[in-house]
Amino acid sequence: MNLMFPWLVLLAPLVSAAAITLFTLRWKTLSSAISIAAVLVSFICSCLIFAHGTVAAAEFTWIGINGVFRVPLGLTLDPLSRTMAVLVSGIGALIHIYSLGYMRDDEGKSRYFAALSLFMFAMLGIVFANNFVMLFIFWELVGFTSYVLIGHWFYRDAAADAANKAFITTRIGDFGFMIGILMVWMATGSIVFAEIAPRMSTLAGHPLFLTTVALLIFCGAVGKSAQFPLHVWLPDAMEGPTPVSALIHAATMVAAGVYMLVRVAFVIQGSPTALLVVAWIGTITAVMAALIATQQDDIKRILAYSTLSQLGYMVMAVGLASNDAAVFHLFTHAFFKALLFLGAGSVIVMLHHEQNIWNMGGLSRKLPITFASFLVGALALIGCPPFSGFFSKDAILALAYERNTAIFTVALLTAFLTAFYVIRMLVIVFFGNARSDIARESHESPPVMTVPLIVLALFATLGGFAFFARSFLTLPVERKVAIFVPALAIAALIAGSGLAIALYRNRASEPVDLELLRHKFYFDEVYSSLIHWTQELLAHVSAFVDRWIIDVGVIGGSSRGAWGIGALLRLVQVGNLQAYVFLFGLGGVAIIYFAVFRF
Partner 1 sequence: MITLGDYLIVSGILFAIGFAGVMVRRNLIIILMSLELMLNAANLSLVAFSRFRVGPDGLPNYNAQVFVFFVITVAAAEVAVGLAILVALFRIRQTTSVRDISSLKF
Q: Where does this chain bind partner 1 (CB under 8 A)?
A: 570-571, 573-578, 581-582, 585
Nearer to partner 1, 66 or 573 (CB): 573
Looking at the DSSP bridge assignments, the partners of residue 543 are none
| CA distance linking residue 5 with residue 15, whole number of Å | 15
What is the DSSP code (8-state) at residue 356? B
Contact in structure between 31 and 109 (CB atoms under 8 Å)? yes
In the bound state with partner 1, the residue whose beta carbon lies nearer, of 68 and 572, is 572
Q: Residue 584 Cβ, how far from partner 1 at the closest point, in Å?
A: 9
The nearest distance, CB 538 to partner 1, in angstroms, is 49
Strands (E), 159-211: none
Beta bridge partners of 65: 69
For partner 1, the closer CB: 555 or 586: 586
Give residue 208's Cα distance to chain centre.
27
- Closer of 68 and 567 to partner 1 (Cβ): 567
484 or 582, CB closer to partner 1?
582
Residues belonging to the chain: 599
Helical packing angle, 253-263 and 109-128, nearest 10°: 10
Neighbouring CB atoms inside 10 A of 432's CB total 18
Tell me the C-alpha distance between 336 and 562, whole Å: 77
Please report how many Cα atoms fall inside a 13 Å half-sphere around the Cα of residue 162, on the Cβ side. 23
DSSP state of 388: H
Q: Which one, 531 or 589, has the nearer CB to partner 1?
A: 589
Q: How far is the CB of 596 from partner 1 (least distance, A)?
A: 14
Report, in Å, the least distance between residue 544 CB and partner 1.
39
Query: Nearer Cβ to partner 1, position 509 or 576?
Result: 576
- Least CB distance to partner 1 at residue 556 (A): 25
- Of the pair 443, 570, the CB lying nearest partner 1 is at 570
Q: Could you give the CA distance from residue 439 to residue 75 in angstroms, rounded to a whole number?
A: 49
- What CA–CA distance (Å, rounded) separates 204 from 267? 11
Q: How far is the CB of 578 from partner 1 (least distance, A)?
A: 6
Phi-psi region of 383 (alpha: psi -120 to 50; beta: other; left: phi over 0): left
Q: DSSP label at 548?
A: I
User: Shortest approach of partner 1 to residue 573 CB, angstroms?
Assistant: 5
Q: Which is nearer to partner 1, 509 or 573 (CB)?
A: 573
The residue (of 154 and 593) whose beta carbon lies closer to partner 1 is: 593
Q: Is the Cβ–Cβ distance between 125 and 131 less than 8 Å?
A: no
Closer residue to partner 1 (CB): 65 or 596: 596
Q: Could you tell me the CA-to-CA distances from 561 to 349, 544, 550, 566, 569 in Å, in that order?
A: 74, 22, 15, 8, 12
Pick between residue 544 and residue 584 the one whose CB is nearest to partner 1: 584
489-504 burial string, b = 16+ CB within 10 Å, else e?
bbebbeebbeebeeeb
Whether cis (ω within 30° of 0) applies to the bond prior to 243 is no
**Secondary structure of residue 293 in the 3-state scheme:** helix
CA–CA separation, 589 vs 100, rounded Å? Answer: 101
Could you tell me which of 374, 364, 369 has the C-alpha nearest to residue 338?
374
CA–CA separation, 492 vs 570, rounded Å? 93
CB of 574 to partner 1, least distance (A): 6
CB of 557 to partner 1, least distance (A): 25
Shortest distance, CB of residue 558 to partner 1, whole angstroms?
23
CA nearest to 85, candidates 75, 96, 95: 75
Q: Which is nearer to partner 1, 577 or 595 (CB)?
A: 577
CB of 577 to partner 1, least distance (A): 4
Closest contact distance (angstroms) between CB of 559 and partner 1 is 20
Q: Give the nearest distance from C-beta 569 to partner 1 in angstroms.
A: 9
Minimum Å distance from CB 551 to partner 1? 31
SS3 string of 21-63?
HHCCCCCHHHHHHHHHHHHHHHHHHHHHHHHHCCCCCCCEEEE
Indicate the residue among 483 and 568 with the shorter CB distance to partner 1.
568
Beta partners for residue 129, in sequence order: 75
Q: Which is nearer to partner 1, 60 or 597 (CB)?
A: 597
Which sign, positive or negative, has the C-alpha torsion 212, 403, 401, 252?
positive
Asked whether the beta carbons of 388 and 336 are under 8 A apart, the reply is yes
By the 10 Å C-beta count (0-12 exposed, 13-18 middle, 19+ buried), 122 is classed as: buried
Distance CA(111)–CA(565), nearest Å, equals: 69
